Structure 1
Amino acid sequence: MRWRVLLPLLLVLLAASPLRAAPPTEYQLKAVFLLNFARYVTWPDEALADSEAIDICVLGRDPFGEHLTGLEARQAQGREVRVHFPPAAENTKGCEVVFVSASEQRRLNAILRELDGQPVLTVSDIDGFVEAGGNIGLVTVDDRIRFDINRGAVSSQHLRLSAQLLKLARRLIGQEGE
């Protein structure tokens, strides 16, 4: 008899409680994108020769919070992932992936000039990033995060992207992709 009274109460409590995990945040997803980009890019042999890790660097204000540092327990290409926050583009030596935060929009052209020709994958969610010469631009379309690739810029950085990564891109610009 007691269970007849408690069962409806239990059902109401279960319906009201958040049993499902909250959906991932925008920057939690973007952090995963950075990790996956690091897994599907090939750097020149000499670029990784002295490194035991894939270093992901964030220029500007950190929009990721704990989500990016959570990647440090992961691996990319058989190497541990490390996260750094250099103060300027001149301090990115040793970084394999550089995320340019929106806070750096005014300095974007100078940053891209500084990194030009180096084996560094540049990624940002700044509007027009790939058109400005960045490698991969994260964009939000219909509440989904997608990405555009500037193949010419990737080539000038001496990087190769996997065919799977190229297939997943929303848009390819530059060499063979225009």
Structure 2
Amino acid sequence: MKSIQTNISAYMTLVLFVVASLNANALTTKERNAKEDRIKGLVIFSMIKYIQWPEASEELVIGILSDNQEMINLFNEIASDRSSSNKKIVIKSFSTIGEATKHSDILFIPNESSAEFEAYSSNGQKVLIITEKEGLCKRGSAINLITIDGKLRFEINKKVVEKSALKISSKLTEMGIEV
């Protein structure tokens, strides 16, 4: 029974990635960006069940290194659907990476905030940093969302994950591109 549930979870995550690869030519740039942000948000939220933090708490804080209110509202909407009685998901916006890494379990750094990450030096924080700019996984991001042939994929830097004391399920690493 547990194996069937695990397979269903893996299948649902793969379905999200297939949906993420759909072509959006008919949409305006703003609509396309909103749709892409929604897909990225859903992918990030889907990854949560494959990650184990060393300290259990009643809430999971997803930080966003951005003041983009539309993205923050979108993540809050997804969080309200995904929070369970066991763990509440809280979305917080940050303007500096130092503050974000101190107060987040997951930190999403959108492309427009990538420069701050590139200048950042990790001190073994127990935060899962997810970026979306080519090459950032090799520069210290744990997970990097990338587009290959028009399809959303993700890279995983296992060394960064191991240094942070987080445990990522082999199911998630199998779906990603190891860097």
TM tier, smaller: 0.7 to 0.9
Q: Deviations over 1:101-141 (max 9, x none)?
A: 22222222333x1x430110000111111011100000112
Q: Unaligned 5+ residue runs, structure 1?
A: 1-21, 174-178
1:1-178 equivalences under 5 Å are 25-45=35-55, 48=56, 51-62=57-68, 64=71, 66-73=73-80, 74-75=82-83, 78-92=86-100, 93-111=102-120, 113=121, 115-169=122-176, 171-173=177-179
Aligned-residue identity in percent: 21
In 1, Cα distance between equivalents of 2:67 and 2:90: 18
TM-score (norm. length: structure 1): 0.73
The size of the alignment, in residue pairs, is: 145
Please give the secondary structure, in 1, of the residue aligned with 2:146.
strand
Distance 2:54 2:118 in 1: 24
Q: Is the 8 A contact 1:54 1:76 kept in 2?
A: no
Asked which structure has the greater CA Rg, the reply is 1
CA pair 96-76 structure 1, distance change in 2 beyond 3 A? farther
SS at match of 2:91: strand
Structure 2's unaligned 5+ residue stretches are 1-30
CA distance in 2, matches of 1:31, 1:161: 18
Q: TM-score, normalised by structure 2?
A: 0.73
Supply the distance in 1 between the matched residues of 2:117 and 2:130 (Cα, whole angstroms): 11
RMSD over aligned Cα atoms: 2.3
User: CA 1:135–1:77 in structure 2 vs 1: closer, same or farther (change >3 Å)?
Assistant: farther
Does the C-alpha gap of structure 1 residues 35 and 155 become closer, same or farther in structure 2, counting only changes over 3 Å?
same
